[in-house]
Amino acid sequence: MSADDKFDFVCGYEGALLAGVDEVGRGPLAGPVVAAAVILDPNQPILGLADSKKLSEKKRESLYAEIVEKSIAWSITRASVEEIDALNILHASMLAMKRAVELLSPNPEYVLVDGNRCPELAIPSEPVVKGDSRVQAIAAASILAKVSRDREMIELDIKYPGYGLAEHKGYPTKAHIEALERLGVNDLYRKTFGPVTRILSRS
C-alpha cells in the first residue's frame, strides 16, 4: 500500500457485509461505461489494492484475478452507448452501478460508492469522494471495471481498425480525434458528446 492509498475511510457499518462500487469510462467518446461491485472477504486479504489509475496494466491484471478468486461476491455490468446517449453519461453511470450492486449474491448490507452521489438502491449506501483511494472494496471494484473495459476496447479495436482504440481506450486524444475525422463516426460512438456531435454536424 502506498502513501497515497491509506484506505482511511471509516464506515459506520463495520462488521456488515460491505460492497464497494465504482465505474470507469465516463470521459471516452466511444464504448460503454462499465461498473463493478465487490464484497471483499476479510479472511482473504488482497495486498496491493489501489486506485486502478495508479496501477500498471500488469498489476491490474494480476489483482483482477485475485479479486475474482478471493472475494465473497463480485459483479461487472455496463451501460451501453445507446443508454449513454439517451440518459446522459451521469445517469448511465448510475444505472451501471445500480446494476452491479443488484447482481451481487449474497446481497450486501451496506454499499460504499466512489464519488459524490449514489445510484438509487434498496440497500443503505453512502458516497465516498476519492473512494478508490480510501476504501479497499471500492479500489477492488475500480480494478475490475478498468480491466474489463480495457479488454473490451482492445477487442473493439480489432472490429473497428484504424481508430486506435486499443491504445487510448476511446478517450479523446489528439490522435483519436484525427482518426475519427478521417474514418467517420460509427455505432461505437457517443453521439451526444461534443467532439462527436461536431464531426457529425459537418457531415
| pLDDT digit string, tens, across residues 163-186 | 999 999 999 999 999 999 999 999
Q: What is the pLDDT of residue 140?
A: 98
Residues in Cβ contact with 53 at an 8 Å cutoff, skipping those fewer than 6 apart: 132, 142, 146
Residues in the chain: 203
Q: How many CB atoms lie within 10 A of CB 193?
A: 18
What are the φ/ψ torsions at residue 123 (nearest 5 degrees)? -110, 140
Alpha carbon separation from 191 to 1, 96, 156 (Å, rounded): 40, 19, 17
Q: How many CB atoms lie within 10 A of CB 133?
A: 22
Cell of 169: 481506450
| Domains by residue range for the chain, with CATH | 18-151 (3.30.420.10)
| pLDDT digit string, tens, across residues 151-167 | 999 999 999 999 999 99
